Structure 1
Amino acid sequence: MKAFLLLSLLACVLPMGQSEIFSRCELAQTLQQMGLDGYAGYSLANWVCTAFHESRFNTAATHYNNYDGSTDFGIFQINSRYWCQYGSQPSSNICGIQCSELLTNNIATDVACAKIVVTDSANGMGAWVAWRLYCQGQDLSQYVAGCNL
């Protein structure tokens, strides 16, 4: 009985099923449904490539940046210094969101903020280092191949 009560209590306290690691095609289909294919002139393959190299398709991914104390969040690794608010850290919070909103399996907030990043940044997708290093100017067909889009 004690074990049942403890498990019941933990189920209420611990977040369950809030993050996800997408498959390549599952993410491609989701991003297409959310309007990223061709958004700001970038193909769907560019977005999938960026998500792969930024987070390995993990919605709960975070990365602390030693050089400036900021943190990157979510499937697109959106940075807390400019795009979202992380606690009391200084931030421009251009997307007007809490960074924790980028860590759930519902990536609608990630996509909405990514659309702001790509249009507000003078560099477009160049705002993502991973895109510049691994996706820009490359044949990206492998990122959407066989996905029934």
Structure 2
Amino acid sequence: MRSILIITLLSCFCADEAKIFSKCELAHKLKTKRMDGYHGYSLADWVCMAPYESNFNTRAFNGKNANGSSDYGLFHLNSKWWCKNSHHSSANACNIMCSKFLDDNINDDIVCAKRVVRDPKGMSAWMAWVKHCRQGFVQIPGRL
């Protein structure tokens, strides 16, 4: 009986499931972090981009970029420019390890996303935003 209790407790600590946001949940979180209107971008811009980049998944990862870089987390922050990984050099403009973007705490992702939009390209740094969201909020895939 005691071993079952220990195994149950350990499984709670070891559970490594991703947080999948709903559109409304993400909008609420971003609003509390003052993303609505940040550098001229609305909540609609952010909520439109997120499903195309990560399907609202905090642990989304793409390691297949042509230049050898990888994309991490909810906003698919790129290892060539925004964060550091162990695979190649980076500008690391957000001064953070890329692996920090793969947990369920998106506060550091938000800080880095704010850093991205302060650059001259703004949200054009995300091709998903350019392709699907730049012309205004459109019907987006993902969870309700």
Determine the C-alpha separation between the residues in 2 that align with 1:11 and 1:42: 41
Q: Write the letter of the residue equivalent to 1:113.
A: C
Match of 1:115 in 2: 114
Determine the C-alpha separation between the residues in 2 that align with 1:66 and 1:53: 16
Determine the C-alpha separation between the residues in 2 that align with 1:104 and 1:19: 7
| Gaps in structure 2 of 5+ consecutive residues | none
Give SS of 2:46's match. Answer: helix
Determine the C-alpha separation between the residues in 2 that align with 1:70 and 1:34: 28
Match of 1:30 in 2: 29
Q: Write the letter of the residue equivalent to 1:133.
A: K
Q: How does 1:1-149 map to 2 (within 5 A)?
A: 4=4, 7=7, 11=11, 14=14, 16=15, 19-120=18-119, 122-138=120-136, 140=137
Check the 8 A contact 1:63/1:73 in 2, yes or no: yes
Determine the C-alpha separation between the residues in 1 that align with 2:138 and 2:126: 19
Aligned CA RMSD, in angstroms, stands at: 2.4
How many angstroms does 1:11 deviate by? Answer: 3.1
Give SS of 2:39's match. Answer: helix
Deviations 1:15-62 (A, max 9, x none): x35630001100000000011000000111001111121111000000
How many angstroms does 1:68 deviate by? Answer: 1.0
Check the 8 A contact 1:17/1:105 in 2, yes or no: no
Taking structure 1 as the reference length, the TM-score comes to 0.83
Determine the C-alpha separation between the residues in 2 that align with 1:131 and 1:86: 24
Q: Write the letter of the residue equivalent to 1:63.
A: N
Taking structure 2 as the reference length, the TM-score comes to 0.86
Determine the C-alpha separation between the residues in 2 that align with 1:39 and 1:9: 41
Deviations 1:82-136 (A, max 9, x none): 100112421111100011111111100000000001102x211000000000000
Check the 8 A contact 2:54/2:60 in 1, yes or no: yes
